[in-house]
Structure 1
């Protein structure tokens, strides 16, 4: 949890979550950009980002640190192929 990789991935997830919450707020009422209560919108986005960071901290050490926007999740098939190749000495 105390690595740069962890915090980078957690930050990316928090920003993504905040943006999704903001878009949901805009989409729910079908309001225009000039009609939005931006203080409430910022509060909602900040709360969502905080919840995302707290989730990342709570789940640190469980599974890989990503994926963030800059990394892909490793699938079970990828892991199986890599494991089989290493057992056979081909990796």
Structure 2
């Protein structure tokens, strides 16, 4: 079975993408927002989604968590 289509790859790549998106969101919130109402939520969502997409693209190069011999 193609590694890209394996359930294991998708699960591990998704965990990585979620972690990367959360890190990007925390970084964006911490760059000048003083209150919840001053956060630019549209920009935050845009940056967070892009971080997740980039994470998936990087994962195409390989995930050390996925056994290449499985």
TM-based fold match above 0.5? yes
Residue 53 of structure 2 is matched in structure 1 by 50
Relative contact order, higher structure (CA 8 A, sep 6+): 2
How many residues are treated as equivalent by the alignment? 64
Correspondent of 1:29 among 19, 32, 35: 32
Unaligned runs of 5+ in 2: none
| Structure 1: distance between partners of 2:41 and 2:10 | 27
Larger radius of gyration: 1
Runs of 4+ in 1 over 3 A off after TM superposition: none
- TM-score between both structures, scaled by the size of structure 2: 0.80
RMSD: 1.7
Unaligned runs of 5+ in 1: 67-91
- TM-score between both structures, scaled by the size of structure 1: 0.63
